[in-house]
C-alpha cells in the first residue's frame, strides 16, 4: 500500500477539521461503543474521542515507519522498565495540532476538553523520574524525527494507588486498565515465545564446533501492545511497544474435565502474573524472582523484535550496529546483552568473537544512581534457575573480560575481584551494572555532576580501563507537556512576546530576559500564575476536601518519599515556623502553604513514617488558630503525572533539598524552573546546571557540596552534637520525640528521630539544617518584594531552555547513538 493510498483511505475518517472530528466521534459511539451519541456520558465521550484521535495517528505512524525503511535509517531501541506517560488525550491533541478543533467538536455535546479528559486515568506504567524521563524522551524523538521505539511492559496494574488513612499511606490496586485502553493496538499477530527455567545442554554441531542449547524450558508468549506517540506539529508518529504476558496454552481441558477446575487455569494465571504489577514486592524471594522474570521477559521479546526487523533487510550480521542501537535505561534491561549473544550464538550460529563485537557496538547504557548500594545485583543461584543458558554466557563474558583486565593490570588480584561481573562471597551475585558497562560502547551519567561522580565513586576501575566509554548527558523535560499543556495561560503570554517557535526550540526563552523588568509584563505574569493557583485550589477542594489559601506562598516538595530526598528537613522547617509563630505571631511576615506529595515504597518503613509525620504535623498546625493564618501544611495523596501538571505551575518555591552527591539529576527541578518557580536546593544533580543557567542570584542554594559532605563524614560526623548546638533544631526534634504531633505517643516517631540522631543521620539532614533554615529566611525576605520575586520568576523560565528533552535527545543522537533525524517524504 503506497503512502498516498494510506492518506486517501484515511481522509474519509480522519479529517482534521471539527466537523470531521465530530462525525468520527459519532461513528465510534455506534461502531465501537454500541450506543447512541445523543445520550452519551463523559466516559463514553472520552473513549469515542480517543479512538477518533487514534484514527488520525495511524496514517502518520505508517508513513513514519515507511520513511525509516525507505531511507535505511538506523533506529533506537529504547528499553525501559518504566514509562510514566500520564494521560494521553490532551497531549496527543496538542501535538497533532488539533486542540482547537477538538474543542469545537465537543461543543456539540456541551462539554469542554477538560471535562472529557477527567474521565481518563493516568497510565500505570511507571513510578517516578525514570519512567517520566523515558516518556519525555519518546516525545522528543518523535518531535525531532529521530527513528526509534520505546520498549517496556504493559502492566495490568500500576505500582499502587495511594490513599491516606489516619495520616498513613495505604496502598490500593492501581487498576488503570479497568475500562480498557483506547490508545493501544494489541498485535496478536506479532507474538514471540519467551523461554524460562529449564537447563543448558552442550553438543557438537555438524561442523565440529561445540554448541549450546536451552532445553526443557517453560514457554511464555509476549504480545505487543502499541501506543502511538506523535511529534509536535510535524505529522511524525513513533510507537511505544509494551509487552503483555500470555500463556502458551490458556486452558487444560483434561484437568477441567476431571473436575480440577482451578488447576486447569493455573498455568495461564502464573504466566499473566509476569505483566500483572509494576515492581512486585521484593520482600520475599518469590517477588525478587518475579522481578527478574519481568526484566528478561520484556528484554527477550524486544531483542527478538529487533532481530525480526533486521533479518528482513538481508544484511550481514556485522551490519546490525549500523542499523540499530539498543539503549538501556538503567540496569533493568541489562540482561539484553547476554540475550543478544544467545540469539547470535545459538540461533544464528555465529562464533563468539563476531557475536561479541556486534554486541559491544550495539548497546549503550545510562546509569541513574550515585550510590553504590543502589546498583542492581541478582543472586547467582536465582539467575541459574531462571536463565540457565544466560549464566554460562555471562561467565564466558566475565572470563574473557578479566583476561583483558589482567593483561592491562598484571598481578592486581584486588582489581580483578572488584571488576568481576560475578561478585564473590558466601552468596555469589551477578553485578548487572558491571555487565552493562562491559557490554556497552558508551556509559553516561544524567547530569554533569553525576557523570563526574560515577567516574570517581562507582566505576573508577572501569574508567581506568575504558576512559573513552564514559560521558554525561544532562536530562531534560518535554516543553509540550510541562509548560505548553499544563500552563496554557503562561504559554500564551510567552508566545505573544517571543513567537511560537519556542515550543520546539526552548533556547528561545532567553528572549524573555528583556521583559523581566517590565512592570506590565510582570503584572500579566503574576495573573497567569494566579490562575494556576486557582486551578489547584479548586482541584484540592473537589478531590480531597483540602482548603488551600490562594494568595499565599506555595512552598512545594513533590517527589518519591525517601530519606535521601530529605522531606524531613522540610517538615522540621514547618515546625520551626510553627514555634516562631506560637512565641511571636509578628515574627513571621510571609503566609506560607507547604505542599507535600509522593509515594513511599510499600516495604520502606521509615519513608512511610515520614508520610505519617508530615500528616500529623499538618493536623496540629492547621487546627491551631494562633498560627494557621500564616502557616498551613497539606499532603496531597496519590501523586501522579496529572496531579503534577496542576501542582507545578502553581508553585512559588520548589524544594530540591537532597544531600549533595545523592541525586543523579532530577527532572522535577527543571519542570518547576520552566514554570517560573524559584528553587531552594543544594548543589546536587541538575540543580548546579540550573544555577548556572538562571544565575546564582536567582536560586536559593544552601548546605554542603558533595566534597564537603564526603569530607565531613570522613572526619566523623556526629548528628547529636549538631542537635545540642542548635536551639531551634533541638526544640523541633524534642517535640517529635515527646509526642507533640502524635497525641502524646512517644513511640510513633521514635524510628524517624533515631535515624536522624543515634542512627547516624545517613543523609546528613541535621548537618544542613541551619543553612537550610537561614536560606528559608532569605526566601521570606525576597517574597516581601513582590516585583523582585516576579522578575526572578521570569528569569528562571528564561534560563530553563537548556533543560528541554529535545536538547537531551539531540545530544544522545549525535554523541552516543550515531543516529540522524529522518524527514518523511
CA–CA dist 158, 584 (Å, integer): 47
CA–CA dist 79, 811 (Å, integer): 18
Residue 753: alpha-carbon gap to chain centroid: 30
**Burial label, 423 (beta-carbon count in 10 A; 0-12, 13-18, 19+):** middle
- The DSSP secondary-structure symbol of 424 reads P
3-class DSSP state of 487: coil
Strand partners for 597: 558
CA–CA dist 562, 766 (Å, integer): 16
Q: Mind giving me the DSSP string for 532-600?
A: HHHHHHHHHHHHH-----TTSEEEEEES---GGGTHHHHHHHHHHHHHHHHH-GGG--S-EEEEEE---
Sequence-ordered list of residues with C-beta below 8 angstroms from that of 687, at least 6 positions apart, any chain: 656, 663, 666, 669, 679, 681, 699, 701
CA–CA dist 797, 678 (Å, integer): 9
140 with 479: CB under 8 angstroms? no
703 Rama sector, left if φ>0, alpha if ψ -120 to 50, beta otherwise = left
CA–CA dist 331, 713 (Å, integer): 29
Which CA distances in Å does 761 have to 374, 683, 798?
18, 19, 37
CA–CA dist 825, 359 (Å, integer): 32
- The DSSP secondary-structure symbol of 233 reads S
User: Per DSSP, which regions of 173-312 are E strands?
Assistant: 184-186, 192-196, 199-204, 210-215, 218-230, 237-247
CA–CA dist 451, 443 (Å, integer): 9
For the chain, the residue count is: 825
Please list, residue by residue across 471-501, b when 16 or more beta carbons sit within 10 angstroms of its beta carbon and e when fewer do: ebbbbbbbbbbbbbbbbbbbbebbeeebeee
CA–CA dist 280, 269 (Å, integer): 16
The C-alpha R_g of the chain, in whole angstroms, comes to 27
Which of 674, 582, 598, 602 shows the shortest CA–CA distance to 639? 598
Just list the catalytic residues.
368, 559-560, 565, 667, 671
Strand partners for 656: 681
Sequence-ordered list of residues with C-beta below 8 angstroms from that of 308, at least 6 positions apart, any chain: none
For CA atoms 539, 134, 667, 598, the dihedral sign is positive
3-class DSSP state of 629: coil
46 with 117: CB under 8 angstroms? yes
The torsion defined by the Cα of 561, 563, 567 and 572, in degrees rounded to 10, comes to: 150
β pairing state of 324-329 and 363-366 = parallel
Sequence-ordered list of residues with C-beta below 8 angstroms from that of 15, at least 6 positions apart, any chain: 21, 24
Long-range contacts of the stretch 101-105 (C-beta < 8 A, 24+): 101/16, 101/17, 101/18, 101/21, 102/18, 102/21, 102/49, 102/53, 104/18, 105/18, 105/19, 105/21, 105/22, 105/25, 105/49
Amino acid at each position: 500500500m503506497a503512502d498516498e493510498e494510506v492518506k486517501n483511505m484515511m481522509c474519509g475518517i480522519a479529517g482534521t477539521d471539527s466537523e470531521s472530528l465530530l462525525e468520527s466521534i459519532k461513528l465510534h459511539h455506534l461502531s465501537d461503543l454500541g450506543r447512541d451519541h445523543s445520550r452519551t456520558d463523559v466516559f463514553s465521550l472520552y473513549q469515542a474521542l480517543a479512538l477518533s484521535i487514534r484514527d488520525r495517528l495511524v496514517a502518520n505512524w505508517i508513513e513514519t515507519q515507511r520513511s525509516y525503511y525507505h531511507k535505511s535509517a538506523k533506529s533506537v531501541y529504547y528499553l525501559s522498565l518504566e514509562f510514566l506517560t500520564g494521560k494521553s488525550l490532551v497531549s496527543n491533541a496538542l501535538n497533532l495540532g488539533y486542540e482547537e478543533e477538538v474543542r469545537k467538536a465537543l461543543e456539540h455535546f456541551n462539554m469542554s476538553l477538560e471535562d472529557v479528559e477527567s474521565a481518563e486515568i493516568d497510565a500505570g506504567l511507571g513510578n517516578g523520574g525514570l519512567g517520566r524521563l523515558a516518556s519525555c524522551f519518546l516525545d522528543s524523538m518523535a518531535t525531532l524525527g529521530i527513528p526509534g521505539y520505546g520498549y517496556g511492559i504493559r502492566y495490568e496494574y500500576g505500582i499502587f494507588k495511594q490513599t491516606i488513612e489516619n495520616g498513613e499511606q495505604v496502598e490500593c490496586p492501581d487498576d488503570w486498565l479497568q475500562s480498557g485502553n483506547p490508545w493501544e493496538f494489541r498485535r496478536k499477530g506479532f507474538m514471540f515465545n519467551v523461554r524460562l527455567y529449564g537447563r543448558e545442554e552442550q553438543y557438537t554441531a555438524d561442523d565440529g564446533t561445540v554448541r549450546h542449547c536451552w532445553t526443557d524450558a517453560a514457554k511464555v508468549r509476549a504480545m505487543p501492545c502499541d501506543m502511538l506517540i506523535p511529534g509536535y506539529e510535524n505529522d511524525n508518529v513513533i510507537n511505544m511497544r509494551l509487552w503483555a504476558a500470555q500463556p502458551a496454552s490458556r486452558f487444560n481441558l483434561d484437568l477441567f474435565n476431571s473436575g480440577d477446575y482451578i488447576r486447569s487455569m493455573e498455568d495461564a494465571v502464573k504466566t499473566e502474573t509476569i505483566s500483572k504489577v509494576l515492581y512486585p514486592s521484593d520482600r520475599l524471594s518469590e517477588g525478587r524472582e518475579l522481578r527478574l522474570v519481568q526484566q528478561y521477559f520484556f528484554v527477550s521479546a524486544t531483542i527478538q523484535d529487533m532481530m525480526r526487523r533486521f533479518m528482513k533487510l538481508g544484511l550481514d550480521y556485522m551490519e546490525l550496529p549500523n542499523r540499530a542501537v539498543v539503549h538501556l535505561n538503567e540496569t533493568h534491561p541489562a540482561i539484553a546483552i547476554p540475550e543478544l549473544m544467545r540469539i547470535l550464538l545459538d540461533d544464528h550460529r555465529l562464533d563468539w568473537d563476531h557475536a561479541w563485537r556486534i554486541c559491544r557496538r550495539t548497546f549503550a547504557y545510562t546509569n541513574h544512581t550515585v550510590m553504590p548500594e543502589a546498583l542492581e545485583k541478582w543472586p547467582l543461584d536465582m539467575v541459574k534457575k531462571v536463565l540457565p543458558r544466560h549464566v554460562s554466557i555471562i561467565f564466558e563474558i566475565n572470563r574473557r573480560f578479566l583476561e583483558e583486565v589482567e593483561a592491562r593490570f598484571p598481578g592486581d588480584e584486588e582489581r580483578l575481584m572488584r571488576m568481576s561481573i560475578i561478585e564473590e562471597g558466601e552468596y555469589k551475585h551477578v553485578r548487572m551494572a558491571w555487565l552493562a558497562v562491559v557490554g556497552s560502547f558508551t556509559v553516561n551519567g544524567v547530569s554533569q555532576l553525576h557523570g563526574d561522580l560515577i567516574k570517581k565513586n562507582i566505576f573508577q576501575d572501569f574508567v581506568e580501563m575504558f576512559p573513552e566509554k564514559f560521558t554525561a548527558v544532562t536530562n531534560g523535560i518535554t516543553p509540550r507537556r510541562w509548560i505548553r499543556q499544563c500552563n496554557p495561560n503562561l504559554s500564551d503570554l510567552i508566545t505573544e512576546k517571543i513567537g511560537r517557535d519556542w515550543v520546539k526550540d526552548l533556547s528561545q526563552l532567553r528572549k524573555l530576559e528583556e521583559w523581566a523588568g517590565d512592570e506590565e509584563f510582570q503584572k500579566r505574569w503574576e495573573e497567569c500564575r494566579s490562575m494556576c493557583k486557582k486551578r489547584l485550589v479548586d482541584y484540592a477542594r473537589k478531590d480531597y476536601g483540602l482548603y488551600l489559601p490562594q494568595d499565599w506562598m506555595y512552598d512545594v516538595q513533590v517527589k518519591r518519599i525517601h530519606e535521601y530526598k530529605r522531606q524531613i528537613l522540610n517538615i522540621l522547617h514547618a515546625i520551626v515556623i510553627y514555634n516562631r509563630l506560637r512565641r511571636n505571631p509578628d515574627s513571621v511576615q510571609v503566609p506560607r502553604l507547604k505542599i507535600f506529595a509522593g509515594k513511599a515504597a510499600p516495604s520502606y518503613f521509615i519513608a512511610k513514617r515520614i508520610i505519617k509525620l508530615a500528616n500529623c504535623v499538618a493536623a496540629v498546625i492547621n487546627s491551631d488558630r494562633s498560627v494557621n493564618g500564616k502557616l498551613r501544611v497539606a499532603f496531597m495523596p496519590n501523586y501522579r503525572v496529572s496531579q503534577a501538571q496542576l501542582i507545578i505551575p502553581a508553585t512559588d518555591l520548589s524544594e530540591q533539598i537532597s544531600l549533595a552527591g545523592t541525586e543523579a539529576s532530577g527532572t522535577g527541578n527543571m519542570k518547576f524552573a520552566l514554570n517560573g518557580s524559584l528553587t531552594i536546593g543544594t548543589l546536587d544533580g541538575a540543580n548546579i546546571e540550573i544555577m548556572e543557567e538562571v544565575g546564582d542570584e536567582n536560586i536559593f542554594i544552601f548546605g554542603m557540596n558533595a566534597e564537603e559532605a564526603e569530607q565531613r563524614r570522613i572526619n566523623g560526623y556526629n548528628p547529636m552534637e549538631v542537635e545540642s548546638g542548635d536551639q531551634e533544631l533541638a526544640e523541633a526534634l524534642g517535640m517529635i520525640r515527646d509526642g507533640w504531633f502524635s497525641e502524646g505517643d512517644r513511640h510513633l516517631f521514635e524510628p524517624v528521630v533515631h535515624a536522624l540522631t543515634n542512627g547516624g543521620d545517613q543523609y546528613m539532614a541535621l548537618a544542613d539544617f541551619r543553612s537550610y533554615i537561614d536560606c528559608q529566611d532569605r526566601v521570606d525576605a525576597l517574597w516581601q518584594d513582590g516585583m523582585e520575586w516576579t522578575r526572578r520568576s521570569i528569569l528562571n523560565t528564561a534560563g530553563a531552555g537548556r533543560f528541554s528533552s529535545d536538547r537531551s535527545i539531540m545530544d544522545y543522537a549525535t554523541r552516543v547513538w550515531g543516529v540522524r533525524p529522518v524527514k518523511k517524504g
